[in-house]
Amino acid sequence: MKQTILISGAGQGIGAEIAKTFYDHGYYVGLFDLNIQAVDTLAQQLGSRAYSGYLDVSDYASWQTALEQFMTWAGQLNILINNAGILYSGCFESINIEAHQRTMAVNCMGVLNGCHAALPYLKQSNFARVINLSSASAIYGQADLASYSASKFAVRGLTEALDIEWSKYNIRVLDVMPLFVQTAMVKDMDAGSIQNIGVDLTPRDVAIEVLKLAQKEQTTFQATHTPVGLKTKILYQLSSVSPQLINRLSNLWLSRRNKS
């Protein structure tokens, strides 16, 4: 049976790896990104079941155009992956306000726009699912990643709300929550937490978890959030059982900067 997927931010990193993984499993894959050259190249490399297009996730009209193009090509939308995201790191006050605002526009409004614009098409499918890229930064607010962390908390909240609200349409809305992943986004990142925790996950690790969520038979008891990687799972579990003070102190320790 034909299955389709649309991925935002598919030009590199996690988005590109998700595209490759789903293509290898027989999906018709829509690759959308601000970097049209990157997704065009990837689509050509993948083959005839791949389609590429331009998408500025912060612009609702851009979403509408991208979805119309995708539907004309694919005929249906089964899986929406809200992957596009940006990150600025460093002391909150040292990052200019435009960068903070851009973070919220892409990471938060981008997901909200995508979910809202895609719903009419998802409702038309016999099987539909939304999988959002959240982050371990949505477990507890992260120092030196303040606006990024806040944007991922918004993604987490929206995911939880829509997973309940859209159950009436038989659409599950889920997210994955990886820790730091080996992509260009974390290169030269200015945060104590990355020094202390390290970067162990690869885009492939995340893509495999996304594939599992897309293919798994979902029940009422299936968790909305999926922490990716052992360290993230430990942090996620500890945050749910530890007193708030302990959570604060542990994150204070994680954020400390190594002296050189």
Residue 248, pLDDT > 90, answer no
Residue 244, pLDDT > 70, answer no
Q: Tens of pLDDT along 46-98?
A: 999 999 999 999 999 999 999 999 999 999 999 999 999 999 988 999 999 99
Q: Is 88 considered catalytic here?
A: no
Q: What is the pLDDT of residue 34?
A: 97
The CA distance from 5 to 175, in Å, is 15
The CA distance from 122 to 172, in Å, is 11
Residue 193, pLDDT > 50, answer no
Q: Tens of pLDDT along 101-119?
A: 999 999 999 999 999 999 9
3-state secondary structure the chain: CCCEEEEECCCCHHHHHHHHHHHHCCCEEEEEECCHHHHHHHHHHHCCCEEEEECCCCCHHHHHHHHHHHHHHHCCCCEEEECCCCCCCCCHHHCCHHHHHHHHHHHHHHHHHHHHHHHHHHHCCCCCEEEEECCHHHCCCCCCCHHHHHHHHHHHHHHHHHHHHHHHHCCEEEEEEECCECCHHHCCCCCHHHHHHCCCECHHHHHHHHHHHHHCCCCCCCCCEEEECHHHHHHHHHHHHCCHHHHHHHHHHHCCCCCC
Averaged pLDDT, 225-246:
65
Residue 236, pLDDT > 70, answer no
Q: What is the pLDDT of residue 227?
A: 86
Choose the catalytic residue: 51, 88, 148, 236: 148
**Distinct helix (H) and strand (E) counts, the chain:** 10, 7
Averaged pLDDT, 123-134:
95
Residue 22, pLDDT > 70, answer yes
Averaged pLDDT, 33-50:
98
3-state secondary structure of 26: coil
Averaged pLDDT, 32-41:
98
Cα three-residue angle 205-209-212, rounded to 5 degrees = 140
Q: What is the pLDDT of residue 251?
A: 44
Q: Tens of pLDDT along 150-191?
A: 999 999 999 999 999 999 999 999 999 987 655 455 555 544
Pairing of strands 225-228, 79-82: unpaired
Q: Are 81 and 133 in contact (CB under 8 A)?
A: yes
Q: What is the pLDDT of residue 255?
A: 52
Q: What is the pLDDT of residue 111?
A: 98
**CATH of region 4-254, choose from 3.40.50.300, 3.40.50.720, 2.60.40.650, 3.30.60.50:** 3.40.50.720
Q: What is the pLDDT of residue 238?
A: 61
Q: Which of 4-8, 21-25, 192-196 has the lowest mean pLDDT?
A: 192-196
